Structure 1
Amino acid sequence: MRPLPDFLPAEHDPRDPSPWLALYLDRSTPLPDSVKAAWLKDCSSRSRQFVLPLLRPLARGLIVLFQLLKILLPRSFNRPYLLHRLLVWGLKTWVSPEANLLILRHFHAGSVILRFIGNNAGVGPIDTVPLRPQALDDLKDLAFLQHDLNLYNFIIELNQRLDAQGRTLTKPEHLDFSMVGDDDQFPVEAMPNRWSNFLDLQSAIELFTPIYQLLMTDNDFWRATNSLQLDETIGIYAATLLGMPERLVLINNKHPLVLMSTLRAGYRLVLHGLATEMLHGVLVTSKRQHLAGASTRCSTTG
Structure 2
Amino acid sequence: MSQELDTAISSPTAQPYIPEPHDRRNPNAWDALYVDQAIPVDPISKGYMIRDLRNWTRSYLLVPIALIANLLLAIIMTVKRLLPFQFSNYTLMHQSAAWFLNTFVSPEACYLIVRHICLGSNIVNFLIDNGPDPAIEKSQLYPRTVGNLAENAFLEHDLILYNFVLDYSKAQREKPHWIEPVKERGLNFDSIKSVQVDIDFKKRRWLRILDLESAIELFKVFYSLCLTSDEFERAVLSLEFDENFGCYISALTGDYNWNHVITNRHPLAPESPFGAARNLLLHGIISEYLHRYLELRKEMAQTVSDR
Q: TM-score, normalised by structure 1?
A: 0.92
Q: Indicate if the aligned counterparts of 1:105 and 1:186 stay in contact, CA closer than 8 A.
A: yes
Contact 2:123–2:291 (Cα < 8 Å) also in 1: yes
Residue by residue over 1:122-162, the C-alpha shift from the partner in whole angstroms, topping out at 9 and shown as x without a partner, is 32221144210011111112110111111111011111011
Equivalent of residue 205 in structure 2, options 187, 194, 214: 194
Could you tell me which of 82, 85, 94 is aligned with 2:92?
82
Q: Aligned residue for 1:258?
A: 269
Residues 54-83 of structure 1: CA deviation (Å, up to 9, x unaligned): 101111111111111112226454111101
- Deviation, 1:11, is 1.0
SS at match of 2:137: coil
Amino acid at match of 2:123: I
Q: How far apart are the structure 1 equivalents of 2:16 and 2:281?
A: 24
Give yes or no for contact 2:233–2:273 (8 Å, CA) kept in 1: yes
1:109 to 2:119 alignment: yes
Residue in 2 aligned with 1:72?
82
Q: Contact conserved, 1:75 with 1:218, CA < 8 A, in 2?
A: no
Select between 231-240 and 66-75 the one with higher mean Cα deviation.
Answer: 66-75
Kept after mapping to 1: 8 A contact 2:98/2:149: yes
**What's the CA shift string for 1:2-28, capped at 9, x where partnerless?**
337676552122222211101111011
Deviations 1:206-228 (A, max 9, x none): 11011100111001100000011
The answer on whether the counterparts of 1:108 and 1:131 sit within 8 Å (CA) in structure 2 is yes
Work out the number of aligned pairs and report it: 293
- Higher mean C-alpha deviation, range 84-93 or range 241-250: 241-250
Deviation of 1:252 after TM superposition, in Å, equals 1.4
Give CA deviations for 1:224-261 in whole Å, capped at 9, x if unaligned.
Answer: 00011100001110121122111212221021221111
**Hey, what does 1:212 align to over in structure 2?**
223
Take 2:84 and 2:218, find their aligned partners in 1: how far apart are those partners? Answer: 21
CA deviations on 1:157-202 (whole Å, 9 max, x unpaired) are 1110110123475662211011112xxx421112363222111000
Aligned to 2:64: 54
CA contact (8 A) 2:262 2:286 kept: yes
The equivalent of 1:143 in structure 2 is 153
Give the counterpart letter for 2:248 in structure 1.
Y
Contact 1:169 1:237 in 2 (8 A): no
CA change 1:169–1:206 in 2 (3 A) is farther
Q: Which residue of 2 aligns with 1:98?
A: 108
Identity between Structure 1 and Structure 2 (%) = 34
Given that residues 16 and 47 in structure 2 are in contact (C-alpha distance below 8 angstroms), is that contact kept between their aligned partners in structure 1?
no
Give distance in 2, aligned partners of 1:7 and 1:150.
33
2:295 to 240, 265, 284: 284
Structure 2: 5+ residue stretches without partners = 1-5
Aligned equivalents of 1:21, 1:133: Cα separation in 2: 31
For CA contacts below 8 A with separation 6 or more, give which structure has more relative contact order: 1
1:102-124 per-residue CA deviation (whole Å, 9 max, x = no partner) reads: 00100110000001111111322
Matches of 1:130 and 1:61, distance apart in 2: 37
- CA distance in 2 between counterparts of 1:189 and 1:6 reads 14
Alpha-carbon spacing, 1:129–1:175, altered in 2? closer, same or farther (3 Å): closer
8 Å CA contact retained: 1:74, 1:217: no
Determine if contact 2:132/2:178 at 8 Å carries over to the other structure: no
Query: Which of the residues 117, 125, 128 maps onto 2:135?
Result: 125
Q: Distance in 1 between matches of 2:255 and 2:25?
A: 39
For residue 35 of structure 1, what is the aligned residue in structure 2?
45
The whole-number CA distance in structure 1 between the counterparts of 2:45 and 2:169 is 32
- Counterpart Cα distance in 1 of 2:85 and 2:110: 30
2:3 aligns with none
Q: Distance in 1 between the 2:204 and 2:187 partners?
A: 40
